[in-house]
Amino acid sequence: MKTLIVYANPKEEGHCRIILKELRSSIEDHDVMDLYKMKFNPVLSKDEFTKYGHVKAGKNIKEMQSRIRKVKKLIFVYPHWWGGMPAIMKGFFDRVFTEGFALKFKGKMPKGLLKGKSALVFKTSGAPVFIHKLMGNRDSKMIRKEILGFCGIKTNVVPIGLCTELNDKKIKKINKIVNKALDKFFEKK
């Protein structure tokens, strides 16, 4: 079973890149969508909207949807910027998780179409993790419930705080957090 990693950080070095490196070495069968390297356009254009405000997926979006359909496990990696995910990641959800692919409406009620999939989200921040908890973990709730959960994907969010300096001690700590989360995600004992 292949795991799809969706990565959103423009930096070639840093905390998110350490997470990606550890994921690549720890997960044997994986695929990576590096949104910045792909030069993914996060802007939903007026041409993509249909008459009723639904999104019409073009060829490149359908290819991304196909890659998502093929997996049961999704992992998202990004920095926490200005209270949430980078714009490129939000645009990814806006343009890729379209009606008919990720959800559909039965009458006025939405139904998630990606049931049976699970996701793991790693987000880095310069602030300590407890600050996010004090703020109510709004962004974690948004991705877990309002985006992925809305589409039927069971999701766990792993915040990694104090990502201001990168040294050997921090790398070891990140790798330990990543591997602990992966063990739970893949139900290793």
Among candidate residues 1, 26, 27, the one with its CA nearest the CA of residue 117? 1
Residue 97, C-beta contacts closer than 8 angstroms, at least 6 positions apart:
103, 147, 151
Across the range 153-179, mean pLDDT stands at 93
Average pLDDT, the chain: 90
pLDDT confidence band for 59 (50 / 70 / 90): confident
pLDDT category of residue 137 using cuts at 50, 70 and 90: confident
Question: Residue 189's pLDDT is what?
Answer: 44
7-41 confidence digits (pLDDT tens): 999 988 999 999 999 999 999 999 999 999 999 99
Contacts of 89 (CB under 8 A, 6+ apart): 6, 8, 35, 42, 76, 78
> Are 3 and 75 within 8 A, CB to CB?
yes
pLDDT in tens, 66-117: 999 999 999 999 999 888 899 999 999 999 998 889 998 888 888 999 999 9
Q: What is the pTM of this model?
A: 0.92
Domain covering 3-185, topology: Rossmann fold (3.40.50)
Collapsed DSSP state (helix, strand, coil) of residue 21: helix
Listed by start position, the domains of the chain span 3-185
Confidence of residue 188 (pLDDT cuts 50, 70, 90): low
Q: Is the pLDDT score of 53 beyond 60? A: no
